[in-house]
Amino acid sequence: MTVLEAGDLLTQIDIPSEWANAHFYYEKIRDRGSWDFQLVSVAAAFKTSGNTIEDARIAVNGIAPFPVRLDAVERLVIGAAVDEALAVEAGEIAIDGSRPLKHNEYKQPMTSNLVRRAVRSVA
C-alpha cells in the first residue's frame, strides 16, 4: 500500500484488469448539496454473468467511525441470482451486529437501504 505524503497529488488510479468489465455502484446520502460529507455511503463492484453475481466487493461508510467492508454480504451474493429477496437479505445482513456511535442509530436503515439498492443495480 502506498501512503501519500504532505503535498503529494494523486493523478491516477489503476483498476486491475480482472475488474475491467465489472458493474460499479456508488451512492451517498447527505444533508445538503453534493459537496457535503455523507451521512452514509456504499461503494460496490460486482462481476456478473447474466443475472448471477460471480464476485463482489461491498463497503459502507458512516455507520462506524471508519469504512467497513461487508464480507458477510459479499459471501451471500456471490453465486446468487439477483432478485428482490436477495437485495432485502443483503440489506439486513449489512447492519447485523453494527454498533453505530451514540445518536447515530438512524443511519442503520439508511445503510441497509443503500446496500439493497447496490444489489438491485446489478439486475
Q: Where are the domains of the chain?
A: 17-120
The answer to whether the CB of 71 falls within 8 A of the CB of 56 is no
Three cell numbers, residue 97: 451486529
E-strand ranges in the chain read: 23-29, 40-49, 52-61, 68-69
* Cell numbers standing for residue 25: 455502484
Cell of 92: 439486513
Topology of domain 17-120, CATH: Enolase-like; domain 1 (3.30.390)
Considering only CA atoms, which of 46, 28, 108, 111 is closest in space to residue 82? 46
Q: What is the mean pLDDT of each run of 10 residues along the chain (123 residues)?
A: 83 84 94 80 96 97 90 98 98 90 89 98 94
